[in-house]
Amino acid sequence: MGFENFGTVSFTTEAKTADFINYLGAGKVMATRCKQCGTVYFPPRLDCPSCLSSEVEWFEIKGKGKLASYTKVNYGPTGFEADAPYTLALGEFDGVQILARLSRDIKENDIKVGMPLTVNPVKLPNNRLAYEFKPA
């Protein structure tokens, strides 16, 4: 599976991190860690801009995180117009920050900074894959 199956709109069909999509298809949200300097990347990177190493390892983001910040998107950008309104959020998972949508299962009045979250793969129409936050 290639990167063309990621998200609502993809602008590339190939990427060094295409395995990210395979992991999503297997039910895992993955990040990378540089083996040389220990820097963690999400979205994943296979080349470390901190120390210029290409020795990285994949690891799964699992367990509970917490909501750090969020915003309601009322007017979606190109490719996302029909999705609006939706809530875009920043979650923190053991030192890894992830930007994702909040599940529509979370009512707007229940959204609170600091609330526990999990990050989960989701299947979109047309065999596309993404990830979102759900309440923990």
pLDDT, tens digit (0-9, with 9 covering 90-100), for 118-131: 999 999 888 889 99
Please state the pTM of the whole predicted model.
0.83
Name residues whose C-beta falls within 8 Å of residue 72's C-beta, 6 or more positions apart in sequence: 85, 86, 87, 88, 108
For range 24-52, the mean pLDDT: 94
Output the average pLDDT for the chain: 89
Res 40 pLDDT > 70:
yes
What integer pLDDT is reported at residue 63 of this predicted model? 94
pLDDT tens column, 80-108: 888 899 999 999 999 899 999 999 999 99
Task: Quote the CA–CA distance of 3 and 22 in Å, as a whole number.
Answer: 9
112: CB partners within 8 A, 6+ apart: 67
Residues in CB range of 36: below 8 A, 6 or more apart: 48, 51, 53, 55
Residue-number span of the structural domain to which 114 is assigned: 3-135
Strand partners, 30: 60
- Give me the number of domains the chain comprises: 1
Strands 65-73 and 128-135, how do they pair? Answer: unpaired
